[in-house]
Amino acid sequence: MRKPSKVDLVGVGLNATDTVIPLADYPVRGSKVEFSAADVLPGGQVASTVVACQLWGMRTRYVGSLGDDSAATLHHDAFADAGVETQIVTVPECASRQSLILVDGGGERTVLWRKDERLDLQPEILDREWIVNARALHVDGYDTATATVAAKWAREAGIPVIADLDELYPGVDQLLENIDYLIVSRDFPCRLMKEPNLEDALRKMQRRYGCRLTAATLGQDGVLAWDGSQFYYTPAYHVPVVDTTGAGDTFHAGFIYGMLQGWPLDRQLDFACAAAALNCMAVGARGGIRTVETIEELMATGAHYPNASHASLVTVTTEEQITVVAFSSVHAGPHE
């Protein structure tokens, strides 16, 4: 059997076929609302992160599942066009995962989704060589047992593991014990640690699971990260928002790109956020993925939201420091 090629990033997790419907305002209960457009586009947390990294010149591999419908063809074509290597389980007579996304006039989106349980990835489908022949692993944790196996293999091989989580999935503790860079949605740390203060929750999360970094994306308020000794807070870039779908996916892609370039953490966060902000300026999870040069231009010239509102978020003692860096995403969190 031929050994899998060496790649920069392998992603194990979700894809989705997004039907994006722009509306002037979110519908009120019991109303009838006319819409003028419905774009059917490829998306999904890990799948979109992998595609972004591939478009920035990285070599990538995606591991996931699809049905045998027209949506699957859409995804296969998108991966092929980008140049992503795929290891996809095809489930016969099954619809691929679908999301219906309502985007209001301010660019904020509401997601309705469905997935056939037959699409769930089982650990036995994994090939260890897919995972260890990579420089980094990215997971979303939805298929928790499978993500945990992949993360353990990566850890054993000395490969850094990045996670994009927004739900407390059953068995998530075992997964988190094998995560190096835990970058999650706004309320995840507080729910997980049963701690109302975000800063304390990030500290406790890092200590409990031994992560190199714990971070929470805060939508247009930016991002807060803790590396075990120092907080990094980054205010958001101020850009015209069309659709926040996929901002978190692009943020994770930017973070991974910067990590594999060997950049310092502040530059990683800045690049990640600039990439996410630009993605908010177009429709769809991948509609605003821009070139590295365009991202760096925003980093150099872009305006930020004020960060004064975050005084209550970051509590600094005499033993701790806070570094404020340029954060780029209007909505950087995966579900912000």
pLDDT tens digits along 204-246: 999 999 999 999 998 888 889 999 999 998 888 999 999 999 9
Q: What are phi and psi of 238, to 5 degrees?
A: -95, 105
What digits encode the pLDDT tens for the residues 257-278? 999 999 999 999 999 999 999 9
- DSSP H helices, 177-309, are 188-193, 198-209, 247-260, 265-279, 292-301
Between CA 330 and CA 336 the distance in angstroms is: 9
Q: To the nearest whole number, what is the mean pLDDT of the chain?
A: 90
Between CA 329 and CA 312 the distance in angstroms is: 20
Task: Tell whether the model's pLDDT for residue 325 goes beyond 70.
Answer: no
List the structure tokens of 85.
């290597």
Confidence of residue 313 (pLDDT cuts 50, 70, 90): low
Question: What pLDDT does 316 receive?
Answer: 37
What digits encode the pLDDT tens for the residues 159-218? 999 999 999 999 999 999 999 999 999 999 999 999 999 999 999 999 999 999 999 998
Question: What pLDDT does 336 receive?
Answer: 41
CB 180 within 8 A of CB 206: no
Task: Tell whether the model's pLDDT for residue 128 goes beyond 90.
Answer: yes
pTM flag (> 0.75): yes
Decide: residue 155, CB within 10 A, 0-12 exposed, 13-18 middle, 19+ buried: middle
